[in-house]
């Protein structure tokens, strides 16, 4: 597979995003290459390019003796200044440059990044920053080194997020991104003409904007509970309609009047709200819609913060083809070269059999597959049926091929009644998880689609098979259709493996730039929220 590490990946994630992320060229690929896209507006300015004014390298050692609580970034600071021959980065003519103030503002406003940790030496940074004399001729070495150290500390919090052990403890088994902070900062200093965009997935910045909006709504302190006992439809008149209109106005779903009449404009707003909250879309103000409208802003803010953190973990790579499943959204998204081609509904694991969050690479398309039934299903489901009905195996197109661990080895024969349907898509993994067709088509019409034992059922398997085999001239649409409808099990090895990301986002911004929320079906949000909102960044006792 042609993997290009050029722009941010995970333009792929999950919501039919048309936004392309930003990233960096690989270190040492081409020393003259600028970063492809760069850092956020708030750090724009003219970095110091002066090289004459330098300091002794021993100053770094002395700095970290004075401020030992930030010595985790000591190596980064040392590497950065060695590449600059120990020239000052944040001063010109004895005074701090524009970026120094901009970086300072980012650091002291960490909550805007969804980060609730206390930075080390905040008071000392304040003192150093405000002690600058506009008439001074020499730069303050402590402020210089403090800004650089805080840059690395801030960047790791904002770009990398919490430790890998945290994400793994929360069942996130996808690859984590890696950033070369020294290279990135050095490049920004060198190429001051760049429009800067920081190395986090595009969704991070979009959620950050909504975090600011929802915090402002919370400050209004007028999020009263909307009371209703029935269902309102278009044409109804009720004081509840006025309350709903006001709520929708605050949320950005509605821009009309606040009369008590349920008019067409409100109907459209209800549908929009239901769609972006993953509800059944019927245009009615019913109990589920009201319950969702009444979710406290504090809860929504926590949800946004949690998903900002998950976005920090996403890797910086772009792929030729990518499949991406967002479990809470019950959707599969198919991308080519950062462009969304199509998406479809999926069925994911039940809460008692959750689908694992991980990365894989589709290697095989299997037509008319056997279903090799897992031991747990044989033990808990097949055996009880056999005890009740001795002919259960034959009547369900199954066969016993042997015995292992005191259990029969059972598989279901290929055919229209096979639980995997007529095709499956294998990406070898230790979780025994794959994508597949299903004869139970009606489940795709459900709003919440957590019904499987962990594998992922695909609503449009024929379309997916055609996509994966489109570059193989020997597999035409007619041949694919024939292979699914007749014959024995057939494995087809893909010429190029296709990445598959199975992840978990309960808040995201869609193509229409609207904020979407989904239910936390596996109860993964709250624990992470508690860890983020604790000052130490660790789980509470």
394-436 pLDDT, tens digit each: 999 999 999 999 999 999 999 989 999 999 999 999 999 999 9
Q: What span, in angstroms and rounded, lies between the C-alpha atoms of 539 and 152?
A: 24
Q: What span, in angstroms and rounded, lies between the C-alpha atoms of 301 and 210?
A: 9
Whether 329 and 14 have beta carbons less than 8 Å apart is answered as yes
Domain limit, last residue, from 173, 200, 227: 200
pLDDT at position 43, please? 44
Residues 494 and 377 in one domain: no
pLDDT at position 159, please? 85
**How would you class 150 by CB atoms within 10 Å of its CB: exposed for 0-12, middle for 13-18, buried for 19 or more?**
buried
Residues 359 and 398 in one domain: no
Residues 375 and 500 in one domain: no
pLDDT at position 520, please? 97
Task: Look at residue 341 and tell me if it is in a domain.
Answer: yes
Domain limit, last residue, from 200, 222, 243: 200
pLDDT at position 117, please? 82
Give the domain extent around 386: 371-413
pLDDT at position 481, please? 96
3-state class of 367 per DSSP?
A: strand
Q: Which residues are catalytic?
A: 436, 455
Number of H helices, E strands in the chain: 18, 19
C-alpha to C-alpha distances, 105 to 95, 122, 369, 422, 529, nearest whole angstrom: 17, 12, 58, 57, 25
Residues 435 and 380 in one domain: no
Task: Look at residue 112 and tell me if it is in a domain.
Answer: yes
Task: Look at residue 339 and tell me if it is in a domain.
Answer: yes
pLDDT at position 315, please? 80
pLDDT at position 319, please? 78
Q: What span, in angstroms and rounded, lies between the C-alpha atoms of 383 and 42?
A: 63
Domain limit, last residue, from 146, 177, 200: 200
Task: Look at residue 228 and tell me if it is in a domain.
Answer: no
Closest of 230, 233, 228, 291 to residue 262, by C-alpha: 233
pLDDT at position 448, please? 94
Residues 427 and 395 in one domain: no
Task: Look at residue 207 and tell me if it is in a domain.
Answer: no
The domain that contains 463 carries what CATH number?
A: 2.40.440.10
Residue 137 per-residue DSSP state: S
Residue 34 per-residue DSSP state: P
Q: What span, in angstroms and rounded, lies between the C-alpha atoms of 89 and 46?
A: 11
Q: What is the pLDDT of residues 20-68, one digit of tens each?
A: 222 222 333 333 233 333 334 344 444 566 677 899 999 999 999 999 9
Q: What span, in angstroms and rounded, lies between the C-alpha atoms of 423 and 432?
A: 16
Dig out the tokens for 466 from the structure.
């055609």
Residues 495 and 408 in one domain: no
Residues 383 and 479 in one domain: no
Residues 352 and 394 in one domain: no
pLDDT at position 22, please? 27
For 232, phi then psi, to 5°, come to -105, 140
Whether 517 and 276 have beta carbons less than 8 Å apart is answered as yes
For residue 528, the tally of other CB atoms under 10 A from its CB is: 22
Dig out the tokens for 376 from the structure.
């747990």
pLDDT at position 50, please? 63
Task: Look at residue 264 and tell me if it is in a domain.
Answer: no
Task: Look at residue 541 and tell me if it is in a domain.
Answer: no
Q: What span, in angstroms and rounded, lies between the C-alpha atoms of 162 and 159?
A: 10
Residues 101 and 29 in one domain: yes
Task: Look at residue 272 and tell me if it is in a domain.
Answer: no
Residues 379 and 432 in one domain: no
3-state class of 269 per DSSP?
A: helix
Residues 152 and 131 in one domain: yes
- Count: domains in the chain: 3
pLDDT at position 197, please? 57
Residues 407 and 422 in one domain: no
pLDDT at position 263, please? 97
Closest of 239, 188, 167, 278 to residue 514, by C-alpha: 278
Q: What span, in angstroms and rounded, lies between the C-alpha atoms of 505 and 98?
A: 36
3-state class of 470 per DSSP?
A: coil
Residues of the chain whose pLDDT is less than 50? 1-46, 191-196, 535-541
């Amino acid at each position: 597979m042609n993997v290009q590490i050029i722009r941010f990946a995970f333009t792929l994630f999950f919501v039919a995003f048309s936004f392309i992320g930003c990233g960096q060229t690989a270190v040492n690929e081409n020393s003259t290459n600028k970063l492809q896209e760069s850092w956020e507006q708030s750090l724009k300015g003219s970095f110091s390019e002066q090289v004459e004014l330098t300091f002794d390298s021993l100053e770094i050692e002395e700095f970290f003796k004075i401020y030992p609580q930030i010595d985790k970034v000591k190596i980064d600071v040392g590497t950065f200044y060695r590449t600059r021959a120990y020239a000052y980065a944040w001063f010109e003519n004895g005074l701090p440059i524009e970026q120094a103030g901009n970086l300072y503002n980012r650091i002291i406003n960490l909550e805007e990044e969804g980060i609730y940790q206390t930075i080390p030496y905040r008071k000392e940074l304040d003192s150093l920053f405000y002690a600058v004399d506009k008439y001074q001729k020499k730069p303050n070495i402590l402020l210089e080194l403090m800004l650089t150290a805080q840059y690395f500390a801030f960047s790791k919090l904002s770009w990398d997020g919490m430790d890998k052990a945290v994400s793994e403890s929360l069942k996130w088994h996808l690859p984590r991104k890696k950033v070369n902070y020294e290279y990135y900062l050095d490049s920004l200093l060198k190429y001051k003409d760049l429009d800067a965009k920081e190395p986090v997935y595009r969704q991070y910045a979009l959620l950050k904007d909504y975090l600011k909006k929802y915090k402002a709504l919370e400050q209004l302190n007028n999020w009263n509970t909307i009371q209703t006992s029935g269902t309102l439809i278009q044409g109804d008149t009720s004081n509840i309609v006025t309350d709903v209109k006001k709520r929708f106005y605050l949320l950005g779903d509605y821009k009309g009047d606040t009369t008590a009449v349920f008019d067409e404009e409100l109907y459209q707003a209800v549908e929009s709200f239901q769609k972006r909250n993953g509800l059944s879309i019927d245009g009615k103000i019913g109990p589920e819609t009201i319950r969702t409208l009444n979710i406290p802003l504090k809860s929504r803010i926590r949800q946004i913060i949690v998903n900002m953190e998950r976005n920090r973990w996403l890797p910086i790579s772009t792929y030729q083809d990518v499949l991406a499943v967002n479990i809470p959204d019950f959707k599969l998204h198919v991308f080519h070269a950062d462009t969304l081609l199509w998406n479809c509904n999926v069925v994911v694991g039940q809460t008692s059999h959750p689908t694992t969050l991980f990365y894989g690479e589709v290697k095989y398309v299997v037509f008319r597959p056997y279903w090799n039934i897992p031991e747990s299903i044989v033990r808990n489901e097949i055996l009880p049926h056999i005890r009740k009905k001795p002919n259960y195996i034959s009547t369900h197109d199954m066969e016993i091929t042997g015995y292992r661990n005191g259990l029969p080895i059972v598989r279901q024969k290929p055919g229209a009644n096979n639980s995997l349907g007529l095709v499956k898509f294998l990406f070898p993994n230790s979780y025994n998880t794959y994508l597949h067709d299903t004869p139970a088509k009606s489940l795709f019409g459900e709003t919440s689609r957590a019904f499987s034992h962990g594998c992922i059922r695909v609503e449009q398997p024929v379309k997916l098979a055609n996509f994966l085999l489109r570059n193989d001239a020997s597999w035409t649409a007619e041949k694919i259709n024939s292979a699914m409808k007749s014959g024995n099990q057939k494995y087809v090895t893909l010429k190029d493996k296709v990445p598959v990301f199975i992840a978990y986002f309960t808040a995201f911004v869609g193509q229409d730039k609207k904020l979407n929320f989904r239910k936390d079906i596996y109860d993964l949000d709250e624990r992470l929220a508690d860890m983020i909102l604790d000052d130490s960044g660790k789980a509470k006792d």
